[in-house]
Structure 1
């Protein structure tokens, strides 16, 4: 039986992994802040040596853009040093390491989708701290899967749930129509992760659902599929404080997945439909 340690198990992706894994195939060690502090090197090493996982999946992160800007030390402690500590354990016990990353490692100024071979150039503390985490993973373990995604939604606070809540309250929403990305469900990322960990195809991957839309188009589709009437006001990035720090162009090209024919992600509208159906179920 495969032993899998999920750090940050209560987040969107950690929750999704636990929902779809087969407990007869995998023994899971789920930890979050209450159980284990990934920034505490000794604590992490001790947990890893006692449980000796075959796979470590790092879903733990500080993702709040504003919080990262206000408290960069916290951002780097969790997003960079946390990844380093888990990588040290992975190397020590011979485990495979899965590191979740983000489109924010890029500057968002491109005119075509970013591939895994494009240079990173983060513009925020969040993006820079996540890139630092990637670098630690590369430095300390060779058996790694670094997975960058964008516009992820699942159980918890995210764009989809925010739009639905605002529509039900009858609130008007100003949504940027000049931000572009590929909405990606946490469940689809979880499926990819569970596929990857059974392979030796190590490296960095871009993994988003197929298709590209603007934030405004995404919000429109959320309301359409949910059968809700919402008050959407098309805006620009510089008019919406909440999105000020996000890349304007967050489109990732799943280049490596495609050229090695390893895994095909679904179209984003179909994944959204699955999510909304399960959410209402």
Structure 2
């Protein structure tokens, strides 16, 4: 039975992976920051050598606030970069495979066409730079790794989708103003978990983009689709703050297509399925 260590088990991806893999023939190890601090090199090494997982999936991440203080800057690099380094070097020492979940934010807004895996990255901002630093550690330290970049991952818990539905349910709120109107691809954690499972079971390695198919959207368009599906279009008016910059970080799943791996389903269909499953659909 293959042993799988899910790091960051309480987040969207961790929970989606547990739901998908729990009833299958895997032995799961699930840790979050309270059980194991991945910034502690010794703790990571001890856990790795004691349990000897075949595959490690790093879903952990720290997203600092805008205008982060130095303490948050340090934490972003500790979790997103040093944490990834600790997992990578420890996994390599037992020849485990590491699947690193990364982000579309490693690309800047310099293009208006989707970014594929062969495009040069240009991380801007603390989160993007720290996540890319984690990618570099994985590449430098490992022989058996998969880096999966995705975007706007949603699932059970706090996220943009949840914020929109909560605002629509609040009788004291009639408008919601967005502070960014970026363009990317909403991606269901459940769909992304299916892609991760493929890499658990198959000997593919390298960098892959994995976002839902069906085109891209802006934050405003995403919010309006959430409200439409919930039957609350008339309940909440969503606007974009004047002068809001628009970042373009649409990913192209080129490597999935080139290697014959099934892409995630369309974002509108998966959003509708998710909302129906969780009770958000009217």
**In the alignment, does 2:179 pair up with 1:188?**
no
Whole-Å separation in 2 of the counterparts to 1:51 and 1:121 = 37
Match of 1:174 among 165, 177, 192: 177
- Residues 104 and 251, structure 2, Cα contact 8 Å, conserved in 1: yes
The corresponding residue for 1:278 is: 277
Is the CA contact 1:177–1:217 (under 8 Å) kept in the aligned structure 2?
no
Question: Deviation per CA, 1:57-110, whole angstroms, max 9, x where unpaired?
Answer: 001110244375652111000000000011112101111100000011111231
Distance 1:116 1:68, change over 3 A: farther
Structure 1 pair 277/233, CA: closer, same or farther in 2 (3 Å)? closer
Q: Secondary structure at the match of 2:3?
A: strand
Change (3 A) 1:238 1:25: farther
CA deviations over 1:140-172 (Å, ceiling 9, x no partner): 112111010111111111110000000111421
Look up the match of 1:74. Answer: 75
2:253 aligned with 1:254: yes
Segments of 5+ residues of structure 2 without an aligned counterpart are none
In the other structure, the counterpart of 1:198 is 201
Show the counterpart of 1:231: 236
1:69 and 1:124 in contact (8 A); partners too: no
Contact 1:237 1:248 in 2 (8 A): no
- CA shift for structure 1 position 230: 3.5
Structure 1 residues 209 and 93: CA distance shift in structure 2, 3 A: same
Shift of the alpha carbon at 1:260? 1.4
Q: CA deviation at 1:35?
A: 0.7
Report the Cα distance in structure 2 between the residues aligned to 1:140 and 1:91, rounded to whole angstroms.
7
Aligned to 1:61: 61
Secondary structure of 1:195's match?
Answer: helix
Query: In the alignment, is residue 212 of structure 1 matched against residue 211 of structure 2?
Result: no
RMSD after superposition: 1.8
Contact kept? 1:116, 1:256, Cα under 8 Å: yes
Structure 1's consecutive aligned runs of 4 or more residues displaced over 6 angstroms after TM superposition are none
- The alignment's TM-score, normalised by the length of structure 1, stands at 0.93
Q: TM-score, normalised by structure 2?
A: 0.92
Q: 1:165: which partner in 2?
A: 166
Q: Across the two proteins, how many residue pairs are aligned to each other?
A: 275
Give 5+ residue unaligned stretches, structure 1.
Answer: none
Question: Pairwise mapping of residues 264-275 of structure 1 onto structure 2 (< 5 A)?
Answer: 264-275=263-274
